[in-house]
Amino acid sequence: MNTNDVHRLSISGVTVAHGAEVVVKRATLTVRAGEMVALVGPSGSGKSTLLGAIAGFYPVQAGAIWVGEELVASPTLSLPPERRRIGVVFQSHALWPQWMVVDNVAYPLRRRGMARPAARREAEMMLAAIGMDAFAARYPSELSGGQRQRVGLARALAARPDLYLFDEPTASLDPANREAFMQEVRERIRTTQAGALYVSHQADEALSLAHRVAVMMQGEILQVGAPAEVYECPRTAEIARLLGPAACATGVVHAVDARGWARVQIADSEQTIRLSSLHREVDHGRVSLMMRPEWCELTDDEASLPCRVVRVQYVGHRTLYELESLAGRLLASHTGPPQYQEGERVGWKVRRASVLER
Ligand code: ADP
Ligand code: MG
C-alpha cells in the first residue's frame, strides 16, 4: 500500500463541548502518513479544544477519532492520553522539575525500554537539533519559557509517535530558532512517516510549512486544501482575510472563454480577468470576487478603475496600497519601494480574481 493512503489520524463528525458550550462542531479531517496539516483559525475558534480532544484531554460528544487504525475516542469510548501514541507539543509544557533537561527528553525512550546511555545519546541528538545541547545538564527552572518549549519539542520528537499535535509551538521562539524548529519537525515527519496536526497563528508559517491547510471558524472546519488552493480559492471572504490581505468586490461577469479569462464589470470599469473558482464553472452574472493585492496593479491605463490611495505600506520587498473606489476598498501591490503617495489619484487594474461562495 502506498503510504499516502495510510491515515495517521482520522476524525469524523467530532463534536466537543466545554460545559454547555459546544466548541467544536462535527469536525471531519484526516492526516496521512508523512503529512503535515496546519489548523488555522481566529482565536477562540476551537483549535486547541479539537487538539485536546485528539490528545485525550476532553471527551467527544459525537463522532469518532482514530489514531492510525485504532479507535481512540467516541461518545462511549475514551482511551487515556498515554495510550494514544501521540506526541503532544502544546504552549505550556509540563517538564519534570527534578530532572535535568537531558533526562526529561530521554524519558519516553527509557519508558520504551531503551538503556540509559543510549537514551541519553539520542536525547542529546534531539537537543542539538534544536540548538539546546548546551542546556542538557540544566534543570527546567533554569530555563526561559522559550527554552522550556524547545525541550518539550525535543521530548515529543524523541518519543517517535505516529502522530504529532502542535499547538502554536513556535509562539515564544525567536525567528532564527523558529526556522530550525520547523525544519526539524518537517524532516522528522518525512523520515518517520508520522503525521502532524499543527496549529499556527501565523498564516505565512502555515502556508509555507503544511502539505494541507484546514481552516476552522466558530468550531467548524470550513475548508481543507493545499496551501495554494486555500490561499487562492478561499470559500469565503473571512477565510481569504485569515490567510493574507484580500479585497472583495462585486463584479458582473459578461463573458468567459474556455481558458477562464472573463470580461468582468467592476463598478464602472470593464476588466479582463483570469477567474478561478473552487468547485464550479463561472457563470455569467453577479459574483463576489476575492482579489489578492499581488493580482492587482496601479496604472494610468484608460480601462482602469479610478481610485484614491488611502494607505501606503512599505514592507521591504514590496509596497502594499489600500485604495478607495466606487467598488469599495481595494488593494494593490508591487515589488520595491512606493511609487504613489497617500491622497494620489490612480487607476486600478486586476489581472486575476477568485469567485467566492457568498
Ligand atoms: P482556539 O485555540 O482556537 O483559540 P479554544 O479551543 O481555546 O480556541 O477555545 C474555544 C472556546 O472554548 C472559547 O470560547 C474558549 O473560551 C472555550 N474554552 C476553551 N477551553 C476551555 C475550558 N477548558 N473550559 C471551558 N471553556 C473553554
Ligand atoms: Mg488555542
Nearest atom in ligand 1 to the alpha carbon of residue 49 is 6
b/e code 85-97 from CB counts within 10 Å (16+ = b): bbbbbbbebebee
Take residue 19 and report the three cell numbers written for it. Answer: 460545559
pLDDT tens, 184-218?
788 889 988 999 999 988 898 899 889 999 999 99
Using a 6 Å CB cutoff, which residues line ligand 1?
A: 18, 23, 41, 43-49
Q: CATH 3.40.50.300 region(s) of the chain?
A: 3-236
- Residue 165: CB atoms within 10 Å: 27
Give the pLDDT confidence score for residue 335 in this predicted structure: 96
pLDDT tens-digit series, residues 79-125: 998 888 898 887 666 788 999 999 999 988 888 889 999 999 999 98
Going by alpha carbons, the residue nearest to atom 23 of ligand 1 is: 18
Sign of CA dihedral 113, 118, 119, 122: negative
Q: Report the candidate in 35, 37, 33 with the shortest Cα–Cα distance to residue 5.
A: 33
Ligand with smallest separation from the Cα of 40:
1
Does residue 253 contact residue 264 with C-beta atoms inside 8 Å?
Answer: yes
Choose the residue to mutate in 15, 22, 23, 24 for probing ligand 1, maximizing ligand atoms within 8 Å of C-beta: 23
A 10 A CB-CB count for 332 gives: 26
Q: How remote is the CA of residue 65 from the centroid of ligand 1, in Å?
A: 19
Whole-number Å distance, alpha carbon 257 to ligand 2 midpoint, is: 45
Strand boundaries in 168-211, DSSP class E: 195-199
Atom of ligand 1 nearest to the CA of 42: 3
The residue nearest atom 24 of ligand 1, judged by CA position, is 18
| 83-92, 113-122, 167-176, 292-301, range with the lowest pLDDT | 167-176
> Cα(2)–Cα(32) distance, rounded to whole angstroms?
11
> How many residues comprise the chain?
358
Rounded to the nearest integer, the mean pLDDT of the chain is: 91
Backbone angles phi, psi at 42, to 5 degrees: -65, 160
Confidence of residue 247 (pLDDT cuts 50, 70, 90): very high
- Looking at beta carbons, which pairs linking 262-267 to residues 24 or more positions away fall under 8 Å? 264/289, 264/353, 266/305, 266/327, 266/350, 267/305, 267/325, 267/326, 267/327
How much distance in Å is there from the Cα of 207 to the middle of ligand 1?
Answer: 24
CA 21 to centroid of ligand 1, rounded, Å: 9
* Cα 161 to ligand 1 centroid, rounded to whole Å: 26
Q: What is the pLDDT of residue 3?
A: 57
Among residues 56, 46, 50, the alpha carbon closest in space to that of 12 is found at 50
Ligand nearest to the CA of 171: 2
CA–centroid distance, 22 to ligand 1, in Å, is 10
- Which residues partner with 66 through β-bridges? 10, 71
Predicted confidence at residue 183, as pLDDT, reads 79
Start and end residues for every CATH 2.40.50.140 domain found in the chain:
245-355
Asked which of 153-157, 286-290, 305-309 is least confident by mean pLDDT, the reply is: 153-157
* CATH level 3 topology of 3-236: Rossmann fold (3.40.50)
Please, are residues 74 and 63 in contact by the beta-carbon 8 Å criterion?
yes
Residue 71: other Cβ atoms inside 10 A: 12
Q: Which residues pair with 253 in a beta bridge?
A: 264, 285
What class, spelled out in words, does domain 245-355 have in CATH? Answer: mainly beta
Q: Which atom of ligand 1 is nearest to the CA of 50?
A: 6
Which pLDDT belongs to residue 81?
87
Nearest-ligand number for the alpha carbon of 49 = 1
Please tell me the distance between residue 191's alpha carbon and the centre of ligand 1 in angstroms. 34
